[in-house]
Chains A and B, each alone.
Chain A
Amino acid sequence: MKNIFNPFASISKQNTSIMIVVQVLITLMVWHNTSNGLIPRPGQVAAAFGKLLTTKLLLDNMLVSLVLTLKAMCYSIIITLFFTYASVIPFFKTIAQFIVKCRYLTLTGLIFIFTLLTKDGSQLKLSLLVFGIVPFFTTSFLAVILNIDKQEFELCKTLGYSNWQTLYEVIIVGKADQVFEILRQNFAISWLMITMVEGLSMSEGGIGSLLIKYNKYNDLTNVIALQLLIFLIGLCFDFLLGTTRRWLFPHCKLKQATS
């Protein structure tokens, strides 16, 4: 246990578990003792969290948000893969680079344009989410392509592959596991954006609109309980995508072990 403050020290799984439990307990104690009348105590949040879980309201809103997020993720990954795979073709390279720069655009300034371009609130939310996610996905995946070891291309050449075969082997097949990793890393961004875009069209519900409602009435206990739930769902997706990646691409597990 002495090692927990030593740089680069490795500690056993058991000690890690004990350390985490102690850290959580300290956090909860600090939270409990520093809370005043306005900030709810951990016990109150836990009670509200339990209550929230049993309500149909939460389930309905959560489903709306999840469906919207998954739809946006699907569209985003299709658009991202198209432009990043195509970025090795000079005509598409500049377009992919422009998409990367689009991450500096704020969604708030584009709401009116998107409202004009879309038919209803549902489409508006979806398109805003996709527009928000794609630049981040593209940035991450383009970095993967740019960092490909030159030897991967050279090996293809020595094996007599054409440029299209090299694209297929090195980028599409060879980096398929990276797509999952990027999806996992960027899911947090889409999960972050969903609460924002749902506030734009509250009639359809969603955890974002629920959060805004609770905030409006200063119901901080439920706000924190809902944040906790959003956090836990995020962790579940993180785990799920990580596990799926290791299952589909066993070599990535080996790569992590050897690095």
Chain B
Amino acid sequence: MTVYSKTNTLLQASNIGLGYDDKIILRDINFCIKDIVRPGMQQGQVISLIGRSGIGKTQLFKILSGLQKPTTGTVAINGDQTVKAGDMGVIFQNYYLFEWRTVYQSLLMAAKKNPQLKGKEKAMVDHYAGEFQLTSELKKYPQQLSGGQRQRASIIQQLLKGSSFLLLDEPFSGLDVCVLDKVTDLLLQVSLSDELKTLIIVSHDISTSVAISDTVLILGNEAGKEGATIKKEIDLVERDLAWKKDIKKEKTFIETVAEIKACL
């Protein structure tokens, strides 16, 4: 069993609800993300938010990122600070980048938004580009990049901006098996880059999401109640399913995936 402890609260979602006119989309959403501490290493957090298509994942994603205000409730980070747009790094499903900027210009603009990088923006862009194997693509425009390169550029852009939180909307959709492995490795690499780095992955790909997460939140509808809520929270560390290579082959993993599927 891995030695770990959960300490400070990094994010607290309290009573989140969202409705349009008479229709309730989300209701009573409550969850808390805590800093996971593992002795002798920097261990970030990876949380998967899983739910069926059309259940309201994207709306919750936008609320968590501060791009949309909930009808009720709050999302607080760093203690009691209500989240607002710009507090979280956001990677959209199609890895959107400014089409009129080269990759280098986009990354530099993001770096200039991070006060901690003042004076060393260019060096940090080069550093991350090297680390994510994008150095030779820096002068290119987004239209000239492959899907994987766009994704890496989007991730670097948000990392340079300096937020501890990184929200990813369906990062595994449309990827082939080889690229999928690279993406999961990349996300794990990001999660290990800083103790407070917290990745929130919104996805309907249960198996891949669970394989790289430490916590799973299941968004779904409860019988007789309108609007989706967090039906179940699974602590994968407790089940000894987190931070392991080739976890997909283990019996407990397969059982957990089946449990999640049954819950949806």
Residue of A nearest to B162 (CB): A160
Query: Nearest-CB distance from B97 to chain A (Å)?
Result: 8
A255–B98 CB distance below 8 A:
no
Residue of B nearest to A252 (CB): B100
Chain A neighbourhood of B88, CB < 8 A: 158
Bound CA span A158–B92, Å: 10
A255–B161 CB distance below 8 A:
no
Is B189 located at the chain interface by the 8 A CB criterion?
no
Number of interface residues of B (CB under 8 A): 24
Chain B neighbourhood of A177, CB < 8 A: 100
Chain B neighbourhood of A159, CB < 8 A: 86, 109-110, 113, 157, 161
Query: Nearest-CB distance from B169 to chain A (Å)?
Result: 11
Is A231 located at the chain interface by the 8 A CB criterion?
no
Among A95-103, A120-128, A148-156, A199-207, the stretch that binds chain B is A148-156
Residue of A nearest to B161 (CB): A159
Is B67 located at the chain interface by the 8 A CB criterion?
yes
Chain B neighbourhood of A151, CB < 8 A: 92, 94, 96
B109–A174 CB distance below 8 A:
no
Taking A154-B67, A177-B100 as contacts, is the C-beta distance between A160 and B143 under 8 angstroms?
A: no
Among A155, A173, A257, A258, the most chain B Cβ lie within 10 Å of the Cβ of A155
Chain A 220-259 residues near chain B, CB threshold 8 A: 249-251, 254-255, 257-258
Chain A 149-182 residues near chain B, CB threshold 8 A: 149, 151-152, 154-155, 157-161, 169, 173-174, 176-177
Bound CA span A177–B101, Å: 12
B113–A160 CB distance below 8 A:
yes
Residue of A nearest to B66 (CB): A157
Residue pairs across A and B with CB atoms within 8 Å: the count is: 62
B161–A160 CB distance below 8 A:
yes
Chain A neighbourhood of B96, CB < 8 A: 149, 151-152, 154-155
Report the contact-size class of chain A (Cβ under 8 Å from the partner).
20 to 34
A255–B99 CB distance below 8 A:
yes
Taking A251-B143, A254-B141, A254-B144 as contacts, is the C-beta distance between A158 and B100 under 8 angstroms?
A: no
Contact pick for B86, options A152, A158, A169, A249, CB 8 Å? A158
Chain B neighbourhood of A161, CB < 8 A: 86, 113
Chain B neighbourhood of A149, CB < 8 A: 96
A158–B98 CB distance below 8 A:
no
A158–B90 CB distance below 8 A:
yes
Chain B neighbourhood of A255, CB < 8 A: 99, 143
B100–A154 CB distance below 8 A:
no
Bound CA span A177–B143, Å: 16
Chain A neighbourhood of B100, CB < 8 A: 173-174, 176-177, 249, 251
Taking A251-B141, A251-B143, A255-B143 as contacts, is the C-beta distance between A157 and B98 under 8 angstroms?
A: no
B141–A250 CB distance below 8 A:
yes
Chain B neighbourhood of A169, CB < 8 A: 98, 109
Given A174-B100, A251-B100, A254-B141, output 13 extra A-B contacts at Cβ < 8 Å: A149-B96, A151-B92, A151-B96, A154-B92, A155-B92, A155-B96, A158-B67, A158-B86, A160-B86, A174-B99, A251-B99, A251-B143, A254-B144
Please list the residues of chain B having a beta carbon within 8 angstroms of any beta carbon in chain A.
65-67, 85-86, 88-90, 92, 94, 96-100, 109-110, 113, 141, 143-144, 157-158, 161
Q: Can you identify 11 A-B contacts, CB atoms within 8 angstroms?
A: A152-B96, A154-B85, A154-B92, A157-B66, A157-B85, A157-B86, A158-B85, A158-B89, A160-B85, A251-B143, A255-B143
Q: Closest 4 CB pairs between A and B?
A: A160-B86, A157-B85, A158-B90, A254-B143
